[in-house]
Amino acid sequence: MRRAVCPGSFDPVTNGHLDIIGRASRLFDEVIVGVLINQSKSGLFSVEERIDMLREVTASYDNVRVESFRGLLVDFCRAQRATVLIKGLRAVSDFDYELQMAQMNIGLAGVETLFMPTNPLYSFLSSSLVKDVAKWGGDVTPHVPDLVHEALKARLVPPA
């Protein structure tokens, strides 16, 4: 069985993430979305909330699972018996760091990284930008699933 991991913070999931997850699900038998537990950085949403949102918005994909992980990504891949990482590339600026990570990960554990070019519709999208715009009352409905939009509205009260 060909398994791939789509890792990230997903704080919260955006349409850009979903596009990558959906495309990966058509290329692999199983896709595991790995939500990073980062103890040194608390997000807007808890890891459990991020997982719940991801599970809901990926429910229509039979071969997508959502799990959390801490520590080394390659250890998570090994535990999940996945040999491939899928990373979305938005712009050249993503590439420098991603290349370093990919080379480190293949050296550490033989885990391959496949880069998937972003859909141009989402090339400027990041979770942080969505949070910033939503915080000030901007319309993020084209950029996130409806349930994420509702969760953002409930969580973010525009500063006075």
Q: How far is the CB of 160 from ligand ADP (least distance, A)?
A: 27
Write out the binding residues for ligand ADP, residues 20-49 only, by CB under 6 A. Answer: 20
First to last CA, the chain: 53
Query: Which residue type sits at 89?
Result: L
Nearer to ligand ADP, 11 or 30 (CB): 11
Rounded Cα distance between 144 and 138, Å, is: 13
The residue from 78, 126, 133, 135 that contacts ligand ADP (CB under 6 A) is 126
Give me the catalytic one of 25, 87, 127, 149: 127
SS3 content of the chain, % helix, strand, coil (to 5): 45, 20, 35
Clarify whether 127 is annotated catalytic. yes
Nearer to ligand ADP, 83 or 119 (CB): 119
Is 94 a binding residue for ligand ADP by CB under 6 A? The answer is yes
Clarify whether 143 is annotated catalytic. no
Rounded Cα distance between 79 and 92, Å, is: 31
Q: Which residues are catalytic?
A: 17, 41, 90, 127
Residues near ligand ADP, by CB under 6 A: 8-10, 14, 16-17, 20, 87-88, 90, 94, 118, 122, 125-128
